[in-house]
């Protein structure tokens, strides 16, 4: 079974902090994704990556950056956290033609 592991289930940070969310997958998938999930808005794509060191902006990249130095790891970075970034963050991975597999999610609160 594919396993996608997110480093934290719950995280509390302060406004202005730099925040790192880590995601690791164990199935050698080419593609990795970061979403945020808010009630009534579904999943919104922040960034995705289709190869090491490659990244593409999704629908809401502002205030975020990503890093993919190794194939199995995809990091989401909040450069200067703000309260409107309080949300559930989901990481996913997929092969070229397969479905996405998701991690457990990180519930991030910015105070």
Partner 1 sequence: AQTVTQSQPEMSVQEAETVTLSCTYDTSESDYYLFWYKQPPSRQMILVIRQEAYKQQNATENRFSVNFQKAAKSFSLKISDSQLGDAAMYFCAYRSPLTGNQFYFGTGTSLTVIP
Contact residues toward partner 1 (CB under 8 A) are 31, 33, 40-43, 45, 48, 50, 56, 58, 88, 90, 92, 94, 96-97, 99-105
Phi, psi (rounded to 5 degrees) for 90: -120, 135
Q: Which is nearer to partner 1, 56 or 79 (CB)?
A: 56
Closest residue by Cα to residue 75 from 63, 88, 61, 91: 91
CB of 36 to partner 1, least distance (A): 12
CB of 83 to partner 1, least distance (A): 22
83-87: Cβ within 8 A, 24+ apart: 83/15, 83/110, 83/111, 85/36, 85/110, 86/110, 87/36, 87/37, 87/38
Query: How far apart are the C-alpha atoms of 111 and 102, rounded to whole Å?
Result: 27
Q: Which is nearer to partner 1, 51 or 79 (CB)?
A: 51
Q: Which is nearer to partner 1, 17 or 109 (CB)?
A: 109
CB of 16 to partner 1, least distance (A): 28
CB of 51 to partner 1, least distance (A): 10
Q: Locate tokens 């998701």: which residue?
A: 102
Q: Which is nearer to partner 1, 33 or 78 (CB)?
A: 33
């Amino acid at each position: 079974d594919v396993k996608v592991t997110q480093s934290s289930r719950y995280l509390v940070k302060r406004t202005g902090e730099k925040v790192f969310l880590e995601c690791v997958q164990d199935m050698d998938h080419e593609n990795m994704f970061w979403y945020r999930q808010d009630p009534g808005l579904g999943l919104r794509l922040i960034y995705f990556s289709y190869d090491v060191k490659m990244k593409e902006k999704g629908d809401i990249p502002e205030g975020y950056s990503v890093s993919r130095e190794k194939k199995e790891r995809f990091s989401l970075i909040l450069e200067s956290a703000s309260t409107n970034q309080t949300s559930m963050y989901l990481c996913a991975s997929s092969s070229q033609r397969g479905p996405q597999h998701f991690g457990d999610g990180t519930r991030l609160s910015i105070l």
